[in-house]
């Protein structure tokens, strides 16, 4: 006599539901985190030169946890009361986009340009580097300064202050080389950037 297998309808339903759940995407709380690489961008922001504007811009970054690696600001159009803020910031592509959009929505902001994306910008930074030393380290510091086209703007029998201008990575390299030779202090202006060609912002 052939045996007949009976199927439990409830158990079959439970298995079908379980299989369906495994096929569905997981909840956002349990999904694997995305690790988009951070990018460094230089943003030029033209603003109305009025009290509190810089504080509002900095507040936008600090309030949302955005990073500022460098910030410079100066008046560029006295008769128009306009200033230019240059910000070097890091973040994922999504964060950079959010930063630009939020800056663009601020009332005293006239224009926001991502100098990194234009691919046609010139970036420069100035630094003053104080080095203390005698004998061979002093001679080596002078030799390296000449190679980097750094200028001596102050000198004593025990120290030098060098002025160096260039891209940030060049200044970083110069400072690194000065550490074992008696680096004492560094003062940097932050990045200033401008687009190549005849057109302005």
Looking at the fold, whether 90 and 50 belong to one and the same domain comes out as yes
The answer to whether residue 26 sits within a structural domain is no
Tokens of residue 105, six digits: 């929505």
**Residue 14 confidence (pLDDT):** 53
Supply the DSSP string of 112-145, one letter for each residue: EEEHHHHS-EEEEEEEEEEEE--SHHHHHHHHHH
Which of 59, 91, 118 terminates a domain? The answer is 118
List pLDDT tens digits, range 143-154: 999 999 999 999
Q: SS3 for 164-182, per residue?
A: EEECHHHHHHHHHHHHHHC
Condensed to tens digits (0 to 9), the pLDDT of residues 149-174 reads: 999 999 999 999 999 999 999 999 99
Residue 152 belongs to some domain of the structure: yes
Buried b (16+ CB within 10 A) or exposed e, 127-144: bbbbbbbeeeebebbbeb
Q: Supply the range of the domain harboring residue 144.
A: 122-195
Are 109 and 136 members of one domain? Answer: no
Of 131, 3, 102, nearest in space to 43 by CA: 102
Q: Is 47 helix (H, G, I), strand (E, B) or coil?
A: strand
Find, among 191, 197, 189, the residue nearest to 90 by Cα: 191
Count of positions (residues) in the chain:
201
Q: What percent of the chain has pLDDT over 70?
A: 83
Q: How many CB atoms lie within 10 A of CB 124?
A: 15
**β-sheet bridge partners, residue 31:** none
The arithmetic mean of pLDDT across residues 107-121, rounded, is: 91
pLDDT in tens, 19-76: 444 444 443 333 344 567 899 999 999 999 999 999 999 999 999 999 999 999 999 9
143 and 114 within one domain? no
pLDDT band at 107 (very low <50, low <70, confident <90, very high): confident
Q: Is residue 1 part of a domain?
A: no
Structural domains of the chain, count: 2
Strands 121-132 and 159-166, by their bridges, are: antiparallel
In a domain, 11, yes or no: no
């Amino acid at each position: 006599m052939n045996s007949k297998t009976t199927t439990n309808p409830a158990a079959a339903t439970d298995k079908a539901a379980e299989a369906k759940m495994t096929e569905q995407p997981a909840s956002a709380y349990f999904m694997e985190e995305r690790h988009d690489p951070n990018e460094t961008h230089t943003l030029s922001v033209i603003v109305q030169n009025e009290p509190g504007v810089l504080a509002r811009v900095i507040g936008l970054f600090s309030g949302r946890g955005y990073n500022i690696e460098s910030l410079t600001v100066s008046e560029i159009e006295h008769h128009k009361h306009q200033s230019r803020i240059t910000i070097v910031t890091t973040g994922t592509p999504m964060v950079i986009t959010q930063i630009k959009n939020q800056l663009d929505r601020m009332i005293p902001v006239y224009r926001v340009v991502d100098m990194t994306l234009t691919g046609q910008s010139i970036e420069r930074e100035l630094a003053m580097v104080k080095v203390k030393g005698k004998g061979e380290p002093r001679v080596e510091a002078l030799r390296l300064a000449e190679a980097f086209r750094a200028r001596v703007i102050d000198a004593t029998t025990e120290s030098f202050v060098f002025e160096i201008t260039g891209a940030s990575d060049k200044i970083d390299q110069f400072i690194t080389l000065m550490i074992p030779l008696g680096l004492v202090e560094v003062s940097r202006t932050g990045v200033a950037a401008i687009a190549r060609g005849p057109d302005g912002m």
